[in-house]
Amino acid sequence: MTFIETELKGCFILEPRIFSDDRGYFMESFNKARFDEAVGVPVNFVQDNQSFSTKGVLRGLHYQIGAYAQAKLVRVLNGTVLDIAVDLRKRSATFGQHLAVELSAENKKQMYIPKGFAHGFVVLSDTADFFYKCDNYYDKASEGGIFYADSTLAIDWKLPMDQLIVSEKDLVLPSLNNARL
């Protein structure tokens, strides 16, 4: 597996080695020793989550703060999404900047999003199965979010805004300037 550090320090794109033949393919999707060495810190994933969504569904931008902050390793099992990570680390040189990566069942890429980032995605294919590992448990009192269309973030979601399907909860999230960080 190849680990590519992005312009947002600590955020990595993972590209697997895929071994294909007439039966299909094989790939290693996670190896703790290699992962920890590549990202430079030990990460202990404790929870796996999976969601199914249809085209245009936008989930995010979500994060957790304090003792329940989460690092995530995300990938797509079926379909294609545009995955977004936003740097919320106040002392970071890239605070408020985002990274957009297309993840798909076809390219089999993964993205590692460290603690201190908001995360979201939009489904670009007819449907998508999205899978992610978290290094901390969900805690409702620690959750936060940023409005997906915040003009200071200027995220291009790759679909017209009137085609996005957004939950009531995500429609009322604050801007980055008003977010609880």
Per residue in 121-138, pLDDT tens?
999 999 999 999 999 999
pLDDT digits (tens, 9 = 90+) for 38-63: 999 999 999 999 999 999 999 999 99
Predicted local confidence at residue 97, as pLDDT = 98
Quote the percentage of the chain above a pLDDT of 70. Answer: 100
Distance CA 102, CA 118 (A): 17
Residue where the block lists tokens 């604050």: 174
User: In whole numbers, what is the pLDDT of the chain averaged over residues?
Assistant: 97
Give the amino acid at 88.
Answer: L
- The answer to whether 63 is a known catalytic residue is no
Q: Is the peptide bond before 58 cis (omega within 30 degrees of 0)?
A: no
Predicted local confidence at residue 131, as pLDDT = 98
Quote the percentage of the chain above a pLDDT of 90. Answer: 100
Q: Which stretches within the chain are classed as H helix?
A: 32-39, 168-171
CATH superfamily for domain 47-178: Jelly Rolls (2.60.120.10)
pLDDT tier at 83, thresholds 50, 70, 90:
very high
Beta strand 47-54 pairing with 110-113 = unpaired
- The catalytic residue among 25, 62, 112, 138 is 62
Average confidence (pLDDT) over 2-26: 96
Predicted local confidence at residue 36, as pLDDT = 96
Predicted local confidence at residue 54, as pLDDT = 98
- The catalytic residue among 63, 98, 119, 132 is 132
- The answer to whether 138 is a known catalytic residue is no
pTM higher than 0.85: yes
